[in-house]
Amino acid sequence: SSRAPSLLPLSPCSSLSPTQYSVACLALDFIPDAVTFAWSSNVTGAVTTGVTNHRSVAVTRGVTGAVSHLVRPLLEGKAQQPFVCTARHPTGTRSVQVTNHGPAPPSPTIPSVPIVTLYPPSREDFQGPFRNATLLCQIWGHRVPPATIRWLRDGTTLVTGVTTDPSVASGGAYVTTSRAGVTEAEWDAGSVYTCQVGDELRNTSKGIECGYEPPNPAGDDIIVRAVPPRFTDIFTDQSAKLTCRVLNLPSVQGLSISWLKETGDQLETKVSNQVLQPNGLLTVEGVATVCADEWDAGNVYTCNVTHPELVFPTQVTLQKTPAHDARAPSLYVLPPPPEQVSLRESVTVTCLVTDFNPPDVLVRWLRNGEPMDPAHYVTFPPVLANRGAPGGAYVTYSALRVTSEEWGAGNVFTCLVGHERLPLRLAQTLLDDVTEAEQDDLHELWATASTFIVLFILSLFYSATVTLIKV
């Protein structure tokens, strides 16, 4: 006749390993031979890893037994016990609580201030098709979540390419992991990346990790540079960020950074946190924001810097310089090559942007009207199309990688392009409208653009678009 199992807890008399936690449960005397096990903890809920279920065997004549074994890291198992072993059988379910009473390792001292560790990328990380890698910042401490995590590149806050995972309990503490993307060009240029957690800062760069220090013609003298606003900010936010970068500071005590208008009126200036340079000195930035119309009008702005190490205040000016022979770009979308489509793997859709000046241009991809993950495409830096020709005309392209299934499903892929010479309008060209002769021209342009190097991926904006539909 059928009968439900008896369930017994099993715990080792001594530690089987100085680093391993082990418990088990034994199901006995059940008919038919159809028992399954499940483990859980009041701390973590269901437990699925580290479980080994052994096949039923005859313990004595007429009595069947089965064992389920749970193994965890010692510190983790001690923190999560007691565990509950559940045996399910067609005639009934039985549960039993299991605890390993063996000694626990001494708990590590959890500091009141989080421990921040920043891991740089390896050279092998840049071997992918987009030549980019990931910086890893790990925070270990007693709080969850930890203080606000902020990433900076050369003192400027990173907005895109940053992800932070939920905190995970480990040995009575919490571990939080945050990641930031970096391109090979940015890493080789010596950019300093900073992971900031509250008041704790950790820096890394190619110079810091490899002992390489970019040449500094000014030695260790304090340098003040005016950095023009990014076209991304001007285009998307209708504002221009004026950046005054002060390098080679021995300390920040007594430092004053302020931006002034032509009239002498002072602009609100936000001073960034200090960033460690590869040479051991510091960089600080002062940022002021003005309306895009004021910047486009050619107004002159002055940054004034004072510091105890400077004999006299240092001033630098910033003004938009009109581009000679400014022109709006032409846009083209190139479908994947037939040879690539025939492989039925991932395919490349290309957005070609040509004949524009100045070189500041924004590119973004949409699928069916929705922004695509920047990890799926890469935009190459603009270059002069003909270096020997009078005037200047630039060309660039953006390569989007999609699966063959996405390409064959009739999705609409839209390439958005922003440039200061484009009027605020929406232009759309369908693949069906491209003639065979035009296709030949596009393939010739694509071959020219394929020599560019990767620069960066930019954020969403609206101006001019070219749309490609696979039908």
Look at residue 431 in the predicted model and tell me its pLDDT.
44
For the chain, residues with pLDDT lower than 50 are 213-218, 425-439, 442-465, 470-471
Please indicate, yes or no, whether residues 228 and 206 belong to a single structural domain of this protein.
no
User: Does residue 313 fall inside a structural domain?
Assistant: yes
* Boundary residue ending a domain (160, 177, 210): 210
Please indicate, yes or no, whether residues 92 and 153 belong to a single structural domain of this protein.
no
Please indicate, yes or no, whether residues 346 and 449 belong to a single structural domain of this protein.
yes
Burial of 137 (0-12, 13-18, 19+ CB in 10 A): buried
Please indicate, yes or no, whether residues 336 and 439 belong to a single structural domain of this protein.
yes
Q: Collect all residues with Cβ–Cβ distance below 8 Å to 141 and sequence separation of at least 6.
A: 110, 111, 113, 114, 115, 173, 174
Global pTM reads 0.48
Please indicate, yes or no, whether residues 394 and 335 belong to a single structural domain of this protein.
yes
User: Does residue 430 fall inside a structural domain?
Assistant: yes
Look at residue 461 in the predicted model and tell me its pLDDT.
33
Please indicate, yes or no, whether residues 66 and 179 belong to a single structural domain of this protein.
no
Please indicate, yes or no, whether residues 384 and 424 belong to a single structural domain of this protein.
yes
Q: β-strand 168-170 against 156-157: which pairing, if any?
A: unpaired
Please indicate, yes or no, whether residues 30 and 123 belong to a single structural domain of this protein.
no
User: Does residue 218 fall inside a structural domain?
Assistant: no
Look at residue 234 in the predicted model and tell me its pLDDT.
81
Number of domains into which the chain is organized: 4
Report the C-alpha gap between 66 and 28 in whole angstroms: 7
Please indicate, yes or no, whether residues 259 and 147 belong to a single structural domain of this protein.
no
Look at residue 168 in the predicted model and tell me its pLDDT.
77
Is 374 in a helix, a strand, or coil?
A: helix
Query: Would you tell me how many other CB atoms lie within 10 Å of the CB of residue 434?
Result: 17
Q: β-strand 132-141 against 377-379: which pairing, if any?
A: unpaired
User: Does residue 342 fall inside a structural domain?
Assistant: yes
Report the C-alpha gap between 217 and 248 in whole angstroms: 12
Expressed in angstroms, the distance from the first to the final Cα of the chain is: 65
User: Does residue 108 fall inside a structural domain?
Assistant: no
What tokens were used for 123? 């050279």
Please indicate, yes or no, whether residues 240 and 203 belong to a single structural domain of this protein.
no
* Boundary residue ending a domain (210, 233, 254): 210
Look at residue 15 in the predicted model and tell me its pLDDT.
53
* Boundary residue ending a domain (98, 129, 162): 98
Please indicate, yes or no, whether residues 38 and 164 belong to a single structural domain of this protein.
no
Report the C-alpha gap between 195 and 331 in whole angstroms: 38
User: Does residue 105 fall inside a structural domain?
Assistant: no
Report phi then psi at 185, rounded to 5. Answer: -65, -40
What mean pLDDT, rounded, does the chain reach? 78
**At residue 325, what is the residue type?**
D
Look at residue 460 in the predicted model and tell me its pLDDT.
31
User: Does residue 215 fall inside a structural domain?
Assistant: no
Q: Collect all residues with Cβ–Cβ distance below 8 Å to 341 and sequence separation of at least 6.
A: 347, 404, 407
Residues spanned by the domain of 130 = 115-210
Q: What is the CATH number of the domain that holds 20?
A: 2.60.40.10
Is 70 in a helix, a strand, or coil?
A: strand
Nearest CA among 237, 171, 227 for reference residue 461:
237
Report the C-alpha gap between 295 and 130 in whole angstroms: 34
Please indicate, yes or no, whether residues 313 and 361 belong to a single structural domain of this protein.
no
User: Does residue 325 fall inside a structural domain?
Assistant: no
Report the C-alpha gap between 413 and 89 in whole angstroms: 53
